[in-house]
Amino acid sequence: MVQTLPYGEWSSPIDAALAAAHDGHPESVDFVGEEAWWTEPRPAEGGRRTLVRRTADGTEESVLPPPWNVRSRVMEYGGRPWTGVMRSEGPLVVFVNFADQRLYAYEPAAPGAGPRPLTPLSPVGGGLRWVDPTLHVERGEVWCVLEEFTGDGAGDVRRVAAAVPLDGSAARDRDAVRELTDGRHRFVTGPRLSPDGRRAAWLVWDHPRMPWDGTELIGADVSEDGTFMEPRTLAGGPEESIAQAEWASDGSLLYASDRTGWWNLYRDGEPLCSREEEFAGPLWKVGQRWFAPLDGGLIAVVHGRGAAALGILDPDSGEVVDAAGPWTEFAATLAAHGSRVVAIGASPRSAGEVVELDSRTGRTRVIGAAHEDPVDPAYYPEPQIRTFTGPGGRDIHAHIYPPHHPGHIAPAHELPPYVVWAHGGPTGRASLVLDLEIAYFTSRGIGVAVVNYGGSTGYGREYRDRLREQWGVVDVEDCAGVALALAEEDTADRGRLAVRGGSAGGWTTAVSLTTTDVYACGTILYPVLDLVSWGSGETHDFESRYLESLVGSYAEVPGRYTERSPVEHADRITVPFLLLQGLDDVICPPAQCERFLARLEGRRIPHAYIAFEGEGHGFRRAETMVRALEAELSLYAQVFGLNPPGIPTLELSK
Report the C-alpha gap between 326 and 310 in whole angstroms. Answer: 11
pLDDT for the residue numbered 110: 85
Q: What is the pLDDT at residue 82?
A: 98
> Is 173 domain-assigned?
no
Do residues 644 and 633 make contact, with C-beta atoms less than 8 angstroms apart?
Answer: yes
- The answer as to whether 594 is a domain residue is yes
Residues constituting the chain = 654
Amino acid found at 540: H
Kindly state the average pLDDT of the residues 518-545: 96
Q: How confident is the model at residue 628 (pLDDT cuts 50, 70, 90)?
A: very high
Q: Is residue 196, in this structure, part of any structural domain at all?
A: no
Measured between alpha carbons, how far is 167 from 178 in angstroms, rounded to an integer?
13
Segment 561-580, tens digit of pLDDT: 999 999 999 999 999 999 99
**Does residue 394 fall inside a structural domain?**
yes
Strands laid side by side in the 299-303 sheet: 291-293, 299-303, 309-314, 319-322
β-bridge mates for residue 651, sequence order: none
Whether 609 maps to a domain, the answer reads yes
Give the pLDDT of residue 499: 98
Spacing of C-alpha 575 from chain mean position = 30
483 band by pLDDT with thresholds 50, 70 and 90: very high
C-alpha to C-alpha distance for 397 and 386, rounded to whole angstroms: 6
The predicted-structure confidence for 241-274, as pLDDT tens digits, reads as follows 999 999 999 999 999 999 999 999 999 999 999 9
* pLDDT in the model for residue 109: 87
User: What does the mean pLDDT of the chain come to?
Assistant: 96
Residue 461 sits in a domain whose CATH number is 3.40.50.1820
Q: What is the pLDDT of residue 602?
A: 86
Give residue 112's pLDDT.
81
603 or 228, higher pLDDT: 228
Domains in the chain, number: 1
pLDDT at 335: 97
In this prediction, residue 113 carries a pLDDT of: 83
Could you say which DSSP state residue 533 is in? H
Residue 308's pLDDT band (cuts 50, 70, 90)? very high
Residue 491 lies in a domain: yes
pLDDT for residue 1 is more than 90: no
Peptide bond into 576 cis (omega under 30): no
Over residues 330-356, the pLDDT tens digits come to 999 999 999 999 999 999 999 999 999
What percent of the chain is modeled with pLDDT above 70? Answer: 100
Residues 607-623, mean pLDDT to the nearest whole number: 96
Is there a domain that residue 486 lies in? Answer: yes
pLDDT at 151: 95
Q: What is the mean pLDDT of residues 151-171?
A: 96
DSSP track, 144-167? EEEEEE-SSSTT-EEEEEEEEETT
C-alpha closest to that of 189 among 285, 262, 253: 285
pLDDT at residue 452 is higher than 90: yes
State the average pLDDT over residues 116-143: 96
What DSSP string describes 535-555? IIIIS-STTTTTHHHHT--TT
Query: What pLDDT does residue 223 have?
Result: 96
Q: Which domain holds residue 591?
A: 3-16+375-640
pLDDT of residue 236: 98
Could you report the per-residue pLDDT of 26-72, keeping only the tens digit for each?
A: 999 999 999 999 999 999 999 999 999 999 899 999 999 999 999 99
Q: Let me know if residue 464 belongs to a domain.
A: yes
> Would you say residue 447 has pLDDT above 90?
yes
**pLDDT band, very low/low/confident/very high, at 89 (cuts 50, 70, 90):** very high
Q: What is the pLDDT of residue 83?
A: 98
Q: How many CB atoms lie within 10 A of CB 558?
A: 13
Distance of CA 527 to the CA centre of its chain: 16
